[in-house]
Each structure stands twice: as structure tokens, then as C-alpha cells.
Amino acid sequence: METVTIQLKLLVDLVDLWNKKSHREYGSPNHSHSVPGVWDSDHGELANKPCAECVLYDEARRIVAEAHNAKVLAKYQPCGCIICTCEDEIQCQGCGAKHCGTHPLGQIPNPVYADA
């Protein structure tokens, strides 16, 4: 398969847009099948067939999710931030994490990623 490199952010923004547009996080924002990803039974020739368009959108979502999972910030960032490594996503449990204070929280300049 031919591949092109696109910025992850572009894909993330697109996926966000589709999710917003369709108020759900699966399938094509242009479709609302009664069964996700399957044409409705009153849809003539396509009835009950899997919807190829919805598959495309879900594939893009899958790539974004995969990229998110693969990229874990390294604990020590060049700016001075120490990333929380606690299992708790709401509150730090005292792992020694800190924010360097030179940029908005969560917007680390030139972030370094841990090897997945």
C-alpha cells in the first residue's frame, strides 16, 4: 500500500471534527445507520451490507488511537518538566512530577517520548 506522511495533528483534528459533527465516535459523520457500519435494511441494493465509507473513518480513528498509545512522554523533559508516571490519571500520587512553569501545562515544547 502506498503511504504518505501526514502530521498526526492534522488527523487528530479531522477525527475531532467528525466526532463533533456526528456526535458519536464511530463511522462516517455523513451516515447514521441504525446498526453502526451497516446499511439499513431499507437501503435497496446495499441493505444490510457493511458500509465501506464508515470503515474508512473508523480506520483513521484507529490510527489516531494507536499513535496516542504508542507515544508516551518520557519522564524527564528538556524544558525541566517531570512527567507524572502515576497510574492515577486524575491526581498525582507523589511520583515527583513537576511543571517547569515556562509554558502552559500540557504544552511541552519539543517533547521527548519514552520508547514504547
| Segment interacting with Zn ion, rule: CB under 5 A, options 12-20, 42-50, 63-71, 78-86 | 78-86
**Residue whose C-alpha cell is 492515577:** 88
Among 67, 92, 98, 114, binds Zn ion (CB under 5 A): 92
Give DSSP secondary structure letters for 48-111: TSBPHHHHHHHHHHHHHHHHHHH-EE-SB-TTS-B----S-SSS--SS--B--SSS-TT--SS-
DSSP 35: B
Q: Which is nearer to Zn ion, 4 or 53 (CB)?
A: 53
User: Phi, psi at residue 11, to the nearest 5°?
Assistant: -65, -40
Q: Which of the residues 12 through 71 are near Zn ion (CB under 5 A)?
A: 28, 31, 51, 53-54
The verdict on 83 binding Zn ion (CB under 5 A) reads no
Of the candidate spans 4-12, 18-26, 57-65, 82-90, the one that interacts with Zn ion by CB under 5 A turns out to be 82-90
Q: Residues in the site for Zn ion, rule: CB under 5 A?
A: 28, 31, 51, 53-54, 79, 81, 84, 86, 92, 95, 97, 100
